[in-house]
Amino acid sequence: MTTKLAPTIKLNNGKLIPVIGLGTWKSKPGEVTQAVKAAIDAGYRHIDGAHVYQNEKEVGEGIKAKIDEGVIKREDIFITSKLWNTYHKTELVVGALKQTLADLGLEYLDLYLIHWPMAFKENGGLFPTENGKVQFSDADYLDTWKGMEQCLEMGLTKSIGVSNFNSEQLDRLLAAAKIKPVTNQIEVHPYLNQSKLISYCKERNILVTAYSPFASPDRPWAKPTDPSLLEDPVIKAIADKHKKTNAHVILRYLIQRGTVPIPKSVTPSRIQTNFDIFDFELTSEEIKTIDGLDCNGRICPFDEAKESKDWPFNIEF
């Protein structure tokens, strides 16, 4: 049986990215190898990871197992990782990527992102704090970008991009960059539909990757009274019409708006079903209805880093 794969989108450098990827934040080291293997078996050819998730070794083991089994070749799969905030000084970037490659057991990445625009103090662990407050570094993300460009020139990654950048930060980056970012990975889901930042990025041919597509129900700070997107009645009514689930409708909504969702799961049945979205389409009316659910419902504000001059959520988009 041949596995059905997801369609791809062309990035602004000509490389192709599959329109859905597997997220790996909060996926425990003991669970994520199985999750990656299940995803590859289900047809995923795109995995989203990061150094700060502290599970890249186990993500790499899943990829290696499927290469060794002959299910995929390295070039068949799109692997993303992210530079953590403590490695923002130009001279630290290449080393940070080399560490990620060593952890993953790979020779190159498909995409490396600056995880957040804020820089944290170097050499104090992943979350350097003093008296409970995050310690920042004076590194400027424009200098970080120079390190990202070096990574690309050295062949350590095929593409480079950013994450959690607002429109002003992107303007500033685009004015200075030799190499344009291919994507801005941001939080997007029906409760935070990001229509302005998505339009901004589209106009500049920067793909939006949509993180926390289900509004991250397993986020550590979730409260039982928070609204649940996966049970939202408006989405449920649309899902029933298509004989699909809320998860399917949300992923279709994101794909039909031109973004690339990266749903996380460590449950094989969910990993499989989240891929089952290429046999139906939402109408423009249904997309408009879902757009109406926006309530500025950001679930990843990273408030601990609010004091940084580069915290991205001080402006409208």
Rule CB under 6 A: say whether 34 interacts with ligand NAP. Answer: no
Rule CB under 6 A: say whether 81 interacts with ligand NAP. Answer: no
If we measure between CA atoms, which residue out of 156, 144, 169, 33 comes closest to residue 106?
Answer: 156
Cβ proximity to ligand NAP: between 46 and 121 the closer is 46
The residues, any chain, with a CB within 8 Å of residue 82's CB and separated by 6 or more, are: 49, 50, 51, 52, 112, 113, 114, 115, 163, 185
Rule CB under 6 A: say whether 118 interacts with ligand NAP. Answer: no
The residues, any chain, with a CB within 8 Å of residue 118's CB and separated by 6 or more, are: 85, 136, 302, 305, 308, 310, 311
From 11, 198, 247, 249, residue interacting with ligand NAP (rule: CB under 6 A): 247
| Residue 296 burial (CB count, 10 A) | 8
Distance CA 139, CA 148 (A): 14
Q: Flag whether 46 is marked binding.
A: no
From 105, 128, 217, 297, residue interacting with ligand NAP (rule: CB under 6 A): 217
From 267, 281, 283, 295, residue interacting with ligand NAP (rule: CB under 6 A): 267
Cβ proximity to ligand NAP: between 154 and 277 the closer is 277
Rule CB under 6 A: say whether 25 interacts with ligand NAP. Answer: yes
Residue window 173-212: x/- pattern of binding to ligand NAP, with contact defined by CB under 6 A = ------------x-------------------------xx
**Residues in 285-304 that interact with ligand NAP by CB under 6 A:** 300
Distance CA 146, CA 152 (A): 10
Q: Angle of helix 90-104 relative to helix 56-68, nearest 10 degrees?
A: 50
Check if the beta carbon of residue 97 is closer than 8 Å to that of residue 151. yes
> Interface residues with ligand NAP (CB under 6 A)?
23-26, 48, 115, 163-164, 185, 211-218, 230, 247, 262-267, 270, 273-274, 300
Binding site, annotated residues for substrate: 115
